[in-house]
């Protein structure tokens, strides 16, 4: 169970799945460049991007319309770096963030209305690190996700506030079984079982 404290961090049980509009545009991609083209194409309309199994280097979603974009990973997808920067209305489902030749990072910066479901951040089997940072973002929901074996003796797999001194979240070797909604980057969250 996630224990939440300070200011605007709220804990609630995840309510239902991430419903998808059957009429939404759907694009299946196999490469990093294909992903970025799909993000560009769906920037104003929203829709679904399906990641085929494989390793992806750096994936990013920047400023976009308020229509929901869902990024859904098929089994076997690994991402080295996933950046959500100054974006909104983005769902990430089933992505595994794991180091390749360098450490890995899931970064949510200056964004709002972000839902992360069944995301796994891990450095298992690597001497490198893996972590998630939420900074300057509002309404970020994490559900059914796992943060384990961060590597490099790091205490935090998940931190809020980023490099400007925000509090770290100790989520090493823990499973997020409830939903934590972070409304500000200055809030501190601790995870436990």
| 127 or 73, greater pLDDT | 73
Q: What is the pLDDT of residue 44?
A: 96
Q: Helices (DSSP H) in 32-152: which residue ranges? A: 32-41
Q: What is the pLDDT of residues 9-46, one digit of tens each?
A: 223 223 333 344 556 799 999 999 999 999 999 999 99
Band (135; pLDDT cuts 50, 70, 90): very high
- Computed from CA positions of residues 145, 122, 84, 133, in that sequence, does the dihedral angle turn out positive or negative? positive
With a CB cutoff of 8 Å and minimum separation 6, the contacts of 137 are 108, 109, 110, 111, 112, 114, 182, 185
The pLDDT mean for the chain works out to 76
Q: Span 44-66, mean pLDDT?
A: 97
Return the C-alpha torsion angle 36, 40, 43, 46, nearest 10.
-60
Is residue 66 classed exposed, middle or buried when 0-12, 13-18 and 19+ CB atoms within 10 A define those classes?
exposed
Q: What is the pLDDT of residue 163?
A: 42
Q: Are the C-beta atoms of 13 and 181 separated by less than 8 Å?
A: no
Buried b or exposed e, range 147-165, using 16+ CB within 10 angstroms: bbbbbeebebbbbbbbeee
Domain segments of the chain: what residues?
Answer: 2-12+74-183
> Which of these ranges, 15-29, 64-78, 109-123, 128-142, has the smallest mean pLDDT?
15-29
Q: Span 129-155, mean pLDDT?
A: 86
Pairing of strands 174-176, 145-148: antiparallel
């Amino acid at each position: 169970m996630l224990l939440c404290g300070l200011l605007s961090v709220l804990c609630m049980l995840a309510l239902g799945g991430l419903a998808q509009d059957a009429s939404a545009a759907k694009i299946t991609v196999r490469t990093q460049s294909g992903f970025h083209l799909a993000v560009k194409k769906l920037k104003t309309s929203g829709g679904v991007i399906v990641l085929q199994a494989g390793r992806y280097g750096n994936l990013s979603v920047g400023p976009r319309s308020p229509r929901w974009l869902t990024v859904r990973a098929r089994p076997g997808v690994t991402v080295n770096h996933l950046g959500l920067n100054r974006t909104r209305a983005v769902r990430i489902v089933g992505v595994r963030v794991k180091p390749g030749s360098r450490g890995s990072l899931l970064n949510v910066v200056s964004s709002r209305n972000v839902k992360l479901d069944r995301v796994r951040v891990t450095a298992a089997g690597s001497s490198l690190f893996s972590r998630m940072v939420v900074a300057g973002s509002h309404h970020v929901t994490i559900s059914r996700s796992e943060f384990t074996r961060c590597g490099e003796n790091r205490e935090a797999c998940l931190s809020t506030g980023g490099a400007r001194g925000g509090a770290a979240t100790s989520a090493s070797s823990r499973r997020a079984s409830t939903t934590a909604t972070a409304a500000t980057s200055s809030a501190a969250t601790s995870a436990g079982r």
